[in-house]
Amino acid sequence: MQRPRLSGDRVDSRWWYWIAAIPAVFGFWLVTVAWVALAIWLEPGLLDTAGGDGPLAQAARISLVAVGVPLVVLTAIFPFAVFQDTQAIDRAGVEWEPPSGTYAAVALVGLLVLAVAGVSDISIGVISGFAVSVPFALYYLQQRHERLGVP
């Protein structure tokens, strides 16, 4: 038995995968921070705490060693992915016509926050830029799901 055809099936775009990666990777990063913070808390002498940073701040910085580059890459790709996906939706001729330029500009805010905050502290820039992108990515995916059925 075949599943019913959704209006999202007419949209020839997989760019929403990149958009969905934003909250997924952010969630993975939060789990990583919690895990590393727990390790630091359980073994207090593990790191030099002369700087006065607590386990959570240290864990955030340590986890960026492994996850920082993917966070930056996803933040940079996000506006382009939103623009490409909205363009594909427009070409498909479905009922929903998301404003490509406006949505791409909103997605660009995370990259701007990353750049501005990264001037003083790259760790804070990466975290805040990516965190700013998550709410809009979730909003976009929710709107896409309601109107197209995909994802």
Whether pTM > 0.85 for this model: the answer is yes
15 confidence band (pLDDT: 50, 70, 90) = very high
Judge contact between 23 and 137, C-beta under 8 A.
Answer: yes
pLDDT value for 141: 97
Answer whether 70's CB lies under 8 Å from 25's CB.
yes
Would you list the domain boundaries of the chain? 16-148
Find the Cα–Cα–Cα–Cα dihedral 127, 132, 135, 140, rounded to 10°.
-110
Helix (H) or strand (E) holding 41: helix 16-42
